[in-house]
Structure 1
């Protein structure tokens, strides 16, 4: 895997790119789905009955849920299936302290489903690996019977943020994209990777067989971090839109105000991908740090998260504070609800509108 980084140019630290908004159809603030429930790194898949959503782990009513679920029939009214775990049992090699991130679900030709996901590795719990689980029906619990990680480039920092793609324009071939988590072995600074030498965090493209998991050939690097990205690029999602292969990704620290959604386009799935601008950032649609966008494959409906600061209305311990504002600050927390939008592409420019 280290050979993948031999082409990483040392001068990239001097490279910058302008990330202006590509196009916002509606600039007024939009509201989070599901009443603002914490639902970070959302994934969405279109099925015959509607859209199914999956999310990074969360504590729900005092219990860890590895992969959260939600559903909508019309992409307007979303139902959080509170407490339901789409991946109730982790493989033995996964770290027992659950850190299950950024799931993605694809449908196979036989009607069954594969869930790709990120999980901390028991042998080196500071790093993450990629795995997959299967289910006959999308509402069934997904099962992972693996004895070892599926994709796990430990020497490069591990891997996270995997998403599937079916190339309906080119033989119905199946692919995955994921991020090499170089910042996990970075040298410090924001999100662990703004102190030189900056560690590369490339996004890789890998072909898989029709079973969704047998690897075909070697991965191809299609994007990597440059100076204007801050510590990394991450959260890749691939689709086909407007006659182009479109790669969505996020940059900057995931819980900070600079976090965003950008995109790059290519004529061929293997690239080269041309960075084409930022479509969402802080201030757009009233959002703070939007990122982690996922699009229903080859469709126009997308979901992403942004962060909000929640402060409880009633605080039992405020009597110990001179000012109630200080009390609320100490007891506030950031959560990442999800939002739903519709995407369109015209002359290579992505436009975003509230769903």
Structure 2
């Protein structure tokens, strides 16, 4: 099989990313390189706890090599995954183990694959050395096949000491167009680059006679990744703590593989609605195209163990000047890989045959993604396959458990009895609305739910005109999923993302100003960012007496309803909810007309319908910040609907 003598960081994800299947699919003709917005068959794309993925292409097959995400003592082996179609993945266990590396004992980390001289090389870190007196560092293993088995190539670490303060871990290998190979590496907040000789198992020197050149950019912590595009060299790295939610990826561009590298921007970070701890990435390019993807690990929202990390990939986009746009972690699953990685089920019997998630009839069985969306649109194909009950979408769900109404959240479903229904559950059922709808067993219907603040819209088939529209402030955010009740059903093409259609929050993303914030990260912009799920800092907080917040809508707009999400909507104690406040509008930002006045509030979210109200500017003025005498105003969202 022909190999490409270059890092997959400069090649492709055509059939990349990893496998969660036990055996390989029958060999077939290569599938054309896909142009995908994300892992459409679902992230994570492989089952199990893995981290620090690096990638390479060999012939028509793409490979991913991750760290086994366990305790240091258990990190004694590396697995790999391969694919030819980006959908079906094959696991290759134990491609390298410490038994094949006499000096390695544990903490086998961050494998970096490369092909050259007809051989397959795998660079790795071992033993997590803390000083030059310890045995360990960066090693290199070699094999005759990308699936291994790999064995130690030189009988000692290739880089076994600290240079320029860089811990010898987190290596990445890159071969430039002129054939020169480089190894980038470094922990403890320092990064180095060194030349690799053509034999790939020894280090060369720079023209000044040095072996190691420091390239540490601002903010660097670990996990360097090098790739080349359009004649520019891109260095990516991870920032923050690997066990924390703030783990992220930033990058720099340079005209030389050795820099200098000046930090430009953060391109991948946690999304409080999708996942935390997103980092330690690789980058891949579909050969012959300008289609790029970022492959990385992240921690599910419901997991607190630092080692519970999963592999994911998303699209990487570039601006006209070559800079990288910030990555959006998208949520989709078309079940084409015949698995449901990332889903948790509560009751009922669930299978994934033929590219659909199927549920046997049960009294309230549900399957949920580990998401936490507040404002969103969820689209899903729903097919009732038997039974006279209903099937549909669960959203803003928390406290999930087995049981008919074993969750706190909303449900919208369809039934062959001829209705589309919407209600909320909290260990009991509260109907909110229903509408007549012809539903046939065996027919697929596209269901959409759009929720913005207290506004909930349900669509079936026609995604422009809602069948149901209500306002309800009971649940502000939570997980998304599907559910059946006394019916069997199949679900497909799940997508959850920013709200589309439905009512428009005129204040979202608009310029906002306010009184002095409690902290630098709790400014007025947090009250118009469209989310209440980002933790206790995802709010406008001001301890100034008479705190105020103003939003510029950009032009005079007619307003039918205001909503204010107070402290409890963001997860804080109800005693911190804004006790007394007013809402006003203005055409010039100077002369204000009061539209709403509230005293004695104790609710998490307040809803304020208005008539005859219009203006360019909306202002919130606080007279009593809390109900418990705390002096700080806490506003997670200020919404204005037209």
Structure 1 length as normaliser, TM-score? 0.69
Equivalent residue number for residue 93 of structure 1: 103
Q: 1:298 to 1:115 in 2, by over 3 A?
A: farther
RMSD of aligned residue pairs (Cα, Å) = 3.3
Counterpart Cα distance in 1 of 2:254 and 2:286: 15
More deviation in 290-299 or 233-242? Answer: 290-299
Equivalent residue number for residue 115 of structure 1: 122
Equivalent residue number for residue 293 of structure 2: 301
Equivalent residue number for residue 137 of structure 1: 145
Equivalent residue number for residue 321 of structure 1: none
- Give the number of equivalent residue pairs: 280
Counterpart Cα distance in 1 of 2:75 and 2:213: 35
Equivalent residue number for residue 32 of structure 1: 43
Q: 1:129 to 1:350 in 2, by over 3 A?
A: same
Aligned-residue offset at 1:76: 3.6
Does the alignment pair 1:272 with 2:272? no
Aligned-residue offset at 1:335: 0.9
Counterpart Cα distance in 1 of 2:37 and 2:66: 26
Counterpart Cα distance in 2 of 1:76 and 1:29: 9
Contact 1:152 1:158 in 2 (8 A): no
Contact 1:41 1:292 in 2 (8 A): yes
Counterpart Cα distance in 2 of 1:33 and 1:333: 17
Equivalent residue number for residue 157 of structure 2: 149
Q: 1:128 to 1:256 in 2, by over 3 A?
A: farther
1:132-157 deviations in whole A, cap 9, x for unaligned?
A: 00011212211105333220224846
SS of the counterpart of 1:272?
coil
Does the alignment pair 1:340 with 2:333? no
1:100-130 deviations in whole A, cap 9, x for unaligned?
A: 010010010x321110000006897988500
Equivalent residue number for residue 185 of structure 1: none
Gaps of 5+ in 2: 1-35, 206-210, 333-642
SS of the counterpart of 1:152?
coil
More deviation in 233-242 or 333-342? Answer: 333-342
1:18-70 deviations in whole A, cap 9, x for unaligned?
A: xxxxxxx979999423354211111111121221111113569xx86511111
1:278-330 deviations in whole A, cap 9, x for unaligned?
A: 1110118822110001124796333100012567xxxxxxxxxxxxxxxxx8x
Equivalent residue number for residue 64 of structure 2: 53
Does the alignment pair 1:177 with 2:169? no
Equivalent residue number for residue 314 of structure 1: none
Counterpart Cα distance in 2 of 1:90 and 1:211: 20
More deviation in 135-144 or 116-125? Answer: 116-125
Equivalent residue number for residue 605 of structure 2: none
Aligned-residue offset at 1:334: 5.0
Structure (1 or 2) with the larger CA radius of gyration: 2
Q: 2:113 aligns with which of 102, 105, 114?
A: 105
Q: How does 1:113-262 map to 2 (within 5 A)?
A: 113-120=120-127, 128-154=136-162, 156=165, 158-168=167-177, 171-179=178-186, 181-182=187-188, 201-217=189-205, 218-224=211-217, 226=218, 229=219, 233-262=221-250
Counterpart Cα distance in 2 of 1:285 and 1:350: 22
SS of the counterpart of 1:202?
coil
Counterpart Cα distance in 1 of 2:306 and 2:281: 22
Higher relative contact order (CA 8 A, sep 6+): 1
Higher helix share: 1
Counterpart Cα distance in 2 of 1:205 and 1:76: 35
Equivalent residue number for residue 323 of structure 2: 349
Counterpart Cα distance in 1 of 2:261 and 2:306: 37
Equivalent residue number for residue 33 of structure 2: none
Q: 1:334 to 1:160 in 2, by over 3 A?
A: closer
Counterpart Cα distance in 2 of 1:148 and 1:139: 22
Counterpart Cα distance in 2 of 1:166 and 1:133: 17
Contact 2:69 2:307 in 1 (8 A): no
Contact 2:248 2:270 in 1 (8 A): yes
Counterpart Cα distance in 1 of 2:39 and 2:102: 47
